[in-house]
Amino acid sequence: MLVPDTEYDRIYAGFRWTLPERYNIGVDVCDRWAAIDPSRIAIFDVKADGTVTPIDFRHLRALSNRFANLLVRHGIQRGDRVAILLPQSVEVAAAHIGIYKAGAVALPLAVLFGADALSFRLQNAGASVLLTEAAGLAKIAPLRALLPDLRVLISIDGPDGATLGFTEALARESDDFTPANTTPNDPALMIYTSGTTGQPKGALHGHRVLLGHLPGIQLPHEFMPQPGDLMWTPADWAWAGGLLNGLLPSLHFGVPVVARKFEKFDPDEAFRLMQDLAIRNIFVPPTALRMLRAVNHPRGRFNLDLRTIASAGEALGAETLHWGRESLGLTINEAYGQTECNLVIASSASIGVIKPGFIGKPVPGHRVAVIRPDGTECAPGEDGQIAVMRPDPVMFLGYWNNEEGTRAKFIGDWMMTGDQAVADEEGYIRFVGRDDDVITSSGYRIGPTEIEDCLMKHEAVALSAVVGKPDPLRTEIVKAFLVLKPGYAASDALAADISAFVRERLSAHEYPREIAFVESLPLTTTGKIIRRELRARG
């Protein structure tokens, strides 16, 4: 954990990792607290009708132990993959904890995945068990012939033929369980990359991954835990952002977590939830933050008690940072990482590590740099790629069944992120874009982030995405895809006005020469824009 201080340089220089010889995520986030303070609240389970059920660590321990016993009863051994296809709920938390205690590997799957996405991940991972609900069973039914390793189906909606009912099956199990005696490097969790660039890859993590996340949680959440802290994220717990930026580290700190299933993200409902439960800490991806901006005067309409806001997944942008300060009275602390190596750069306004347009600085405990293709570090102001030095406890063990892909991820001991960036003289890192998102136009290399941020300043624009479109004269031109705010209609005149707006504020080579007005943008389940789909539209 970080030692609170007002000086970033002292915090960074004084930090040292001290990993235990034996460590199990499930024991850490649940059994430890159940022994210390069993009545302490772990999760507030919020239903769609507003009903709130507090779940203490004693109950969570019993539930997770029963699930671990169920897995063992069905022949699950250490290292076997157990898939979870459910929205935020107590059952998801208990399943994760039970899987870790059993020494198996948790495979979280997003509820928004379609048949092809599920089939690929379940096949590739060789999952033996799937915990889901009726809707998930319907998706899986036509795929069963393609999933020979999938032996056990469990549904929270009750038994159905060969499918076990979660409640019914757990009622027959003991709430005592002896956790596997795991090391920090034993496999615990596999999360597939978002697939923004080709087929997803299974990033396999050891139990150490949670310990590796702790400094990256504490910095943007202003030295969590603090008295009264209460965490919520709209991000699916199947995503590294929801699971490792929200659920698991909060439970480690003994900070309760709000579980709330949203069929569709609703900004008004999100603010109402923050008000009704007096939520203090939120992790919200930039896309959702931009949707929250549609709510006028949130502090006037809702009684908010927020202490910290963290955001990651895409570049935040100076405009959204400004909105947070003006509309919420808080600085949104940005963070950066990847499925393979998460939360390694962050901001922290309370100690002055904040700079509009920049992600922040390396999180204590992680050596992060912007480097050249030959592995040497770039000079300040020089374009390069974000890289993280191994060994690092937050770094993945490797890609599942993909040694070649794992090797290709490294230049020497630098893990390459594929994200272009620039570091300044003070050590702040500015995100430019993914390698394949950078636009080459008339000899200039243009990152989409700055243009998208500028577009968001226009009064008519609700959401924006920028890609390069092939052009015989300029190599590529900048093309923008825009979702308009209510009350604005697409027109050539509006497109011209928006293009001029950007040209005046950025430069003559960065403004969008083409604009397409769209109803929505293609997003991954983590809220990232799928720019390859936009490029394919031409």
DSSP 103: T
pLDDT, one tens digit per residue, over 189-242 is 999 986 555 578 999 999 999 999 999 999 999 999 999 999 999 999 999 999
Instruction: Give the pair of three-digit tokens for residue 325.
Output: 């300060």
Closest CA to 466 of 491, 499, 490: 499
CATH number at residue 197: 3.40.50.12780
- Decide: 142 and 115 in contact? Cβ < 8 Å: yes
pLDDT, one tens digit per residue, over 46-85 is 998 889 999 999 999 999 999 999 999 999 999 999 999 9
Among 183, 206, 229, identify where a domain stops: 206
Residue 422 main-chain phi, psi, to 5 deg = -135, 135
Whether 188 is covered by a domain: the verdict is yes
Among 158, 181, 206, identify where a domain stops: 206
Domain count, the chain: 2
Whether 459 is covered by a domain: the verdict is yes
Among 182, 206, 230, identify where a domain stops: 206
DSSP 437: G
pLDDT at residue 178 greater than cutoff 90: yes
Mean pLDDT of the region 352-363: 95
Mean pLDDT of the region 128-144: 96
What's residue 33's pLDDT? Answer: 98
Whether 366 is covered by a domain: the verdict is no
Instruction: Give the pair of three-digit tokens for residue 183.
Output: 């090391």
pLDDT, one tens digit per residue, over 297-340 is 999 999 999 999 999 987 788 888 999 999 999 999 999 999 99
The Cα–Cα gap between 328 and 250 comes to 23
Note the pTM of the prediction, 2 decimals: 0.86
DSSP 237: T
Domain that holds residue 484: 438-537
CATH number at residue 449: 3.30.300.30
Mean pLDDT, all residues of the chain: 93
What's residue 261's pLDDT? Answer: 87
At 446, the pLDDT band (50, 70, 90 cuts) reads confident
Whether 277 is covered by a domain: the verdict is no
Peptide bond into 472 cis (omega under 30): no
Whether 313 is covered by a domain: the verdict is no
Mean pLDDT of the region 292-301: 92
At 441, the pLDDT band (50, 70, 90 cuts) reads confident
Mean pLDDT of the region 157-162: 95
What's residue 198's pLDDT? Answer: 57
Whether 291 is covered by a domain: the verdict is no
At 482, the pLDDT band (50, 70, 90 cuts) reads very high
